[in-house]
A and B are shown apart, each in its own frame.
Chain A
């Protein structure tokens, strides 16, 4: 059961408005956050067979074995050969070049990462379970819809259908799927953070709000446990391509937005960007002030897959994922080939309270997890 955006039982504690200050009721509120966690929304219960009755994808060993099969080995032989490796995470070294150059473009050899379309489909098992996180993007019923485990609505998430049986995606928070996990760690200390600002008349009640997702000029700061530092101050980059002003409302304590186009500019090694058509979002506020959100829409699956294929050997499942995504993509057909270019997808993010400011020193938004409130006042930089 998700935590409500406002807690009707103990308003005075988390609202952080002291009894002596701020006697004016219903002053417009502006709360600031930075996104400290973002990944593909994964649904996994820990049950190995969940959603993948065939069970044929296996793990890393089996995946590399399929690559060896693709260059001519028999199935049993391939598995044994790979299993014998000291480092099973990597393909058998002597066949590495052959495996990763097995793409054929007009008969010429090419790297599978550069020419995934010219590599044969490894044909992995697709996810066929009942649940996946997401939103109803089409408004119509259909057999390809999942049930969202939280809202129990019928939702679209073909991305999960494609990837949900690939081992490295079968995680649950705070763990991210493997590639996103390792990439995020590098991303955090270098790339500018994403900011979230929520404005409304009174965020402790249901009502209309505006959610602004932008980008800071600075990267995230870590706290003493290596998580995201709370209550730090970030300057919102006025020139960033990431500026989404989303209309939303809080209803029954959950914040949702009117469907809109969402664009987040990222950086390799993480996603170069995340772009969602018909973007949906739902946000829940935890008692300690943290936001947990799901964000979904139609995204260009090639650009999604690029995060894997752009970094050869970082993601052993790059080609498998690529072909799976291609197979079940469900939107925006190419006028010539008919291949769907976009896929329904869902991401999950978490944000911690922060001060947001502009470069002139004006405080735009404050954190709401502080006991000693700071007025949203000018504090000019030197």
Chain B
């Protein structure tokens, strides 16, 4: 068995996209393949794509923002809210497959496009972002407009623009420029056009005949590039990736691997990792989270803002910087905090910056034996999956299963008669474990609740805001339970019991694939087994999982039935 080399992240890049060819480190594949028998939980395998199912994916709000920042720089500010994304099977990325654009959503995109275009063409930015100068600033200039729109359009549409597309854009630009006697107004209008186009707002899986297999089809290079960049960098393809698409090297194993390795060893990989875990852990739900300030005064707006970031930093540190075992995320004592979070958790954090400076992120390590370890003891899990006043072990348990183990607990049946099991003679239950006795004792309820409640009860030391407690209403909290026959007490022991459960690693692999493609993988193919093996062989190095998926044919599969509907361009 070969140990995969750790991927070197080039920290000198400082996040600036590099437009020259870089030497990519090559990785060797293990000589012997271990077949890992993995359990996939209750989910049935789903086919990747079929003719009647959509294959296009709507750009996510974070991808939109990153793309604008990558193309136009981070001084372009987007303040408007995007249309809400919907979560399916636990991932927004799967929802993106089914999402179109509602009327309200389109209006939002439109407002954002106007805002961005206005900034790009304003006096401060135009000299830098529109490199050519018009012959006259008060009239149209086809040559300069064409140059800017072709360059920008390629980066926005993830492919070169066709001649008639450029023509139409230039015409719109000229028309407006002449009407308003302002060249830059013209550019602004055509830039709006680009930004509201379906070619920007959606990524497509376009197919072309496969020269290696006559009669069969494959995804075209640009579609592959779009998948790669949104997966690994959470953004649109950069110039180098588009060039690799244009010259055909993306269609070769070697060329694909070279781009994948380049992208994984870039600091931009952090964006991809963040985007994935943010989706998997449901961190977008912080937007609609609210806690009662009277009960939880330490859950300040700063703490709420910082909580998801804490988890993402912990994860990036572990899987990107240290390239540790994925499973150790649930037991690691290393994390990062700001003073606001430290107060919420009741731990000391010595911050030496000057008075009134923004709070810095500082590394913090919990002492040995501390009951708070792993990302699940952080507010991003325990506070996110709690109500505004009370905790709900059922909700925590349900999301634990869904997010970490890919296990869906079905909703309660209709017409459950609570009067049968509700003990109305003793309505005052001291701890939530008491209150949920009914869930456990009634056979109708217990079937599903025993999947959720015991797990959730392990976290009851964390109140609804993520703060630590040992008693509830004066009674000590009991956090003991059992996992697959292993007894545990508290979340750290629970996550240790989970460490060797193959469901944990199998689930994250499936979710990463679904994040990249919009659908869960079919679990039985040889290619999927190969991905799983690579992941295991690398000691569950998350970047290696991303690599394995990015170079796999499985990610670029084409539905055979689509062929008959295809018309050549």
User: What residues of chain A have their CB less than 8 Å away from a CB belonging to chain B?
Assistant: 18, 189-190, 192, 217-219, 221-225, 227, 229-233, 235, 355, 357, 359, 361, 363, 366-367, 370-372, 374-375, 377, 379-382
Within 8 A of A (CB), among B453-477: 468-471
Query: Chain B residues with Cβ under 8 A from A372's Cβ?
Result: 346, 370-372, 468, 470
* Cα distance, A233 to B347, chains bound together (Å): 8
**C-alpha spacing A233/B343, complex, angstroms:** 7
User: Which B268-322 residues sit within 8 Å CB-CB of chain A?
Assistant: 291, 293-294, 296-301
Residue pair B300, A355 in contact (C-beta under 8 Å): no
- List 18 A–B pairs whose Cβ atoms lie within 8 Å, in order of A's numbering: A219-B355, A219-B356, A222-B300, A223-B300, A224-B293, A225-B293, A231-B342, A232-B340, A232-B343, A233-B342, A233-B349, A355-B348, A367-B346, A371-B470, A372-B346, A372-B371, A372-B468, A374-B346
Tell whether, in the assembled complex, residue B468 and residue A224 are in contact, meaning their CB atoms are under 8 Å apart. Answer: no
In contact, A379 and B297 (Cβ under 8 angstroms)? no
A134–B371 Cα distance when bound, in Å, is: 46
Partner of A235, one of B299, B350, B470: B350
* A233 and B300 contacting across the interface, CB-CB below 8 Å: no
Bound-complex Cα distance A8 to B470 (A): 21
Contact of A229 among B298, B363, B468 (CB under 8 A): B298
Contact A230 B350 (CB under 8 A): no
Question: Does A230 contact B299, Cβ atoms closer than 8 Å?
Answer: no
The CA-CA distance from A259 to B180 in the complex, in Å, is 80
Nearest-CB distance from B475 to chain A (Å)? 12
CA of A3 to CA of B437 in the docked complex: distance in angstroms?
Answer: 39
Contact of A374 among B354, B355, B356, B367 (CB under 8 A): B367
Q: Is B351 an interface residue (CB 8 A)?
A: yes
Q: How many residues of B contact A (CB 8 A)?
A: 35
With beta carbons under 8 angstroms apart, the residue of A189, A221, A375, A379 that contacts B339 is A221
- Check if B84 is an interface residue, CB within 8 A of chain A: no
Which of B296, B339, B363, B471 makes the CB contact (< 8 A) with A232?
Answer: B339
Name A369's closest neighbour in chain B (CB-CB).
B346
Q: Residues of B contacting A218 with CB < 8 Å?
A: 351, 355-356
- Pick from B349, B367, B370 the residue with the most CB of A within 10 Å: B349
8 extra interface residue pairs, beta carbon distance < 8 Å, beyond A233-B349, A371-B469:
A217-B352, A223-B297, A225-B293, A229-B340, A232-B339, A359-B352, A371-B471, A372-B372
B348 lies within 8 A of A357 (CB): yes
Other-chain contact of A381, B296, B301, B362, B468 (Cβ < 8 Å):
B362
A264–B346 Cα distance when bound, in Å, is: 28
Cα of A287 to Cα of B360 in the assembled complex, Å: 33
In the complex, the chain B residue whose C-beta lies closest to that of A356 is B348
Query: Which of B298, B355, B364, B372 is in CB contact (< 8 Å) with A231?
Result: B298
Residues of chain A within 8 A (CB-CB) of B471 are 371
Closest to A359 in B: B352
B477 to chain A minimum Cβ distance, whole angstroms, is: 10
* C-alpha gap A211/B343 in the complex (Å): 23
Chain A positions within 8 Å of B370 at CB level: 372
Q: Which chain B residues numbered 360 to 380 have a C-beta less than 8 Å away from chain A? A: 360, 362-364, 367, 370-372
Residues in A with CB closer than 8 Å to B291 are: 224
Give, as a whole number of angstroms, the nearest-CB distance from B297 to chain A: 4
- In the complex the two chains form, what is the Cα distance from A372 to B467 in whole Å? 10
Cβ–Cβ < 8 Å partners of A382 in chain B:
360, 362-363
Chain A neighbourhood of B360, CB < 8 A: 382
Query: Which 8 pairs from chain A and chain B are nearest by CB?
Result: A224-B293, A223-B297, A355-B348, A232-B343, A370-B346, A372-B468, A357-B350, A361-B350
B367 & A232 in contact (Cβ 8 Å cutoff) = no
C-alpha spacing A372/B351, complex, angstroms? 21
Instruction: Report chain B residues within 8 Å CB of A379.
Output: 348-350, 364
- Docked pose: A380 CA to B365 CA in angstroms: 11
> Which residues of chain B come closer than 8 Å to A355, judged between CB atoms?
348-349
Tell me, in angstroms, the Cα distance from A69 to B372 when the chains sit together: 69
Chain B residue with the shortest CB-CB distance to A380: B350
CA distance A159 to B470 in the complex (A): 47
Residues of B within 8 A of A375 (CB): 367
* B229, chain A: closest CB distance, angstroms: 33
- In whole Å, how far is A113's beta carbon from the nearest beta carbon of chain B? 29
Residues of chain B lying within 8 A (CB to CB) of residue A217: 352, 354-355
A88 to B81, CA, bound (A): 45
The CA-CA distance from A192 to B357 in the complex, in Å, is 12
| Beta-carbon nearest neighbor of B300 in chain A | A224
B415-442, CB < 8 A from A: none
* Chain B residues near A374 (CB-CB < 8 A): 346-348, 367
Looking at the complex, which one of B297, B348, B351, B468 makes contact with A227 (CB distance below 8 Å)?
A: B297
* Least CB separation from B359: chain A residue: A221
- A233 contacts B298, C-beta separation under 8 Å: no
**CB-CB contacts below 8 Å: B470-505 with A:** 470-471
Report the Cα distance A223→B292, complex, angstroms: 12
A291 to chain B, nearest CB (A): 17
Q: Given A192-B355, A382-B362, is A224 in contact with B347 using a C-beta cutoff of 8 Å?
A: no
CB distance from B372 to the nearest CB of A (A): 7
C-alpha spacing A153/B350, complex, angstroms: 43
What is the distance, in angstroms, from B505's C-beta to the closest C-beta of chain A? 31
Chain B residues, CB < 8 A from A192:
355
Given contacts A375-B367, A382-B362, A382-B363, contact A221 B350 (CB under 8 A): no
* A227–B343 CA distance with the chains assembled, in angstroms: 14
Given contacts A224-B299, A372-B372, contact A233 B350 (CB under 8 A): yes
- How distant is A275 from chain B, measured CB to nearest CB, in Å? 23
> Which of chain B's residues have a CB closer than 8 A to the CB of A363?
348, 350
How many Å from the CB of B465 to the closest CB on chain A? 9
Closest to B468 in A: A372
The reply to whether A381 and B351 form a contact with Cβ atoms under 8 Å apart is yes
Least CB distance from A266 to B in Å reads 14
| A223 to B354 CA separation, bound complex (whole angstroms) | 20
Q: Measured between C-beta atoms, what is the minimum distance from B459 to chain A in Å? A: 14
A233–B364 Cα distance when bound, in Å, is 13
Q: Which residue of B lies closest to A193 (CB)?
A: B355
Alpha-carbon separation in the docked complex, A170 to B294 (Å) = 28
- Collect the chain B residues with CB atoms within 8 Å of residue A230's CB: 297-298, 343
> A231 contacts which chain B residues (CB < 8 A)?
298, 342-343, 346
CA distance A18 to B349 in the complex (A): 22
Q: Check A221 against B470 for contact (C-beta < 8 Å).
A: no
Could you tell me the distance in whole angstroms from the C-beta of B560 to the nearest C-beta in chain A?
Answer: 55
Instruction: Please state if A232 and B356 are interface contacts (CB–CB under 8 Å).
Output: no
Q: Beyond A229-B300, A371-B468, is A377–B367 a contact (Cβ under 8 Å)?
A: yes
| Complex Cα gap A190–B355 (Å) | 8
Q: How many Å from the CB of A43 to the closest CB on chain B?
A: 29
Minimum distance in angstroms from B365 CB to a CB of chain A = 8
A233 to B342, CA, bound (A): 8
Contacts of A377 in B (CB 8 A): 367
Question: Most B CB atoms within 10 A — which of A18, A227, A359, A374?
Answer: A374
Question: Contacts of B297 on A, CB cut-off 8 Å?
Answer: 223-225, 227, 229-230
Most buried by A among B297, B362, B367, B471: B297
- List A contacts of B298 (CB < 8 A): 223-224, 229-231
A381 to B, closest residue via Cβ: B350
C-alpha spacing A231/B346, complex, angstroms: 6
B430 to chain A, nearest CB (A): 15
Nearest Cβ distance between residue A220 and chain B, in whole angstroms? 11
Chain A residue at smallest Cβ distance from B365: A379
- Closest residue of chain A to B347 (Cβ to Cβ) is A374
Chain B residues near A225 (CB, 8 Å)? Answer: 293-294, 297
Q: Which residues of B sit under 8 angstroms from A224, Cβ to Cβ? A: 291, 293, 296-301
Q: Note all chain B residues with C-beta closer than 8 A to A357.
A: 348, 350
